[in-house]
Amino acid sequence: MSTVSIATPVGFGSSSCGYCTSPGERVAGSSFKKAGLVASRLSCGVYQRMIDRGWRRSGTYCYLPGPKYSCCPHYTIKLDALVFKPSRNQRKLVNRWNRFIKLGDDMDIDQDRETARPPKLTSVFCLTSKIHLSERDFVPETEKSRHNFEVTLEHSSYTDEKYNLYVTYQTEIHHDPDNTPIDFKRFLVRTPLI
């Protein structure tokens, strides 16, 4: 049984751009949308096809940017996680992070360098295992770490901590200090995705 997607078209539109304008100088109508819709329900398959065609989503509002008439170009940043191969610098950074979690700051690493550094392996770098190496749930109970690193995945939700971070970001990056908990929920918590 397939999921039915339901949306209401709202047509083209424009808004002010929060990226290229100076503080206090937001220009109305500087970011154009060729098409827009408010989604009540979207299957992940339909949403993926929309993304592949250049659509963006903000809460339940979906829009197709109109770069020809907008002040800033929209860059699509996509990563196919199944074929991603980390660069040498990325691998070094993951290893450095894992050493930091296990051993502490740079001084501690220098003191324990001989005993802590694992021998070089000639095997292929496995991002999945390396990225989880320092997580508390993956560290054997017999091993001690100087730092405790824990990853928690959760559904999008409202908390005061998340809201305060959002307000700080909106104020400092987009020069938009007028945000409410309702704005936060509309933008980051509400979703039409099934």
Burial pattern 96-108, b for ≥16 Cβ within 10 A else e, equals eebbbbbbbeeee
Q: What is the sign, positive or negative, of the torsion defined by CA atoms of 121, 133, 117, 109?
A: positive
HSE toward the beta carbon, residue 85, CA cutoff 13 A: 2
Global model pTM greater than 0.75: no
- What are 117's two structure tokens? 């550094």
Mean pLDDT for the chain? 82
pLDDT digits (tens, 9 = 90+) for 87-145: 999 999 999 999 999 888 754 444 444 445 554 545 677 888 888 888 888 888 888 88
Domain ranges of the chain: 6-69, 160-189
pLDDT score recorded for residue 137: 84
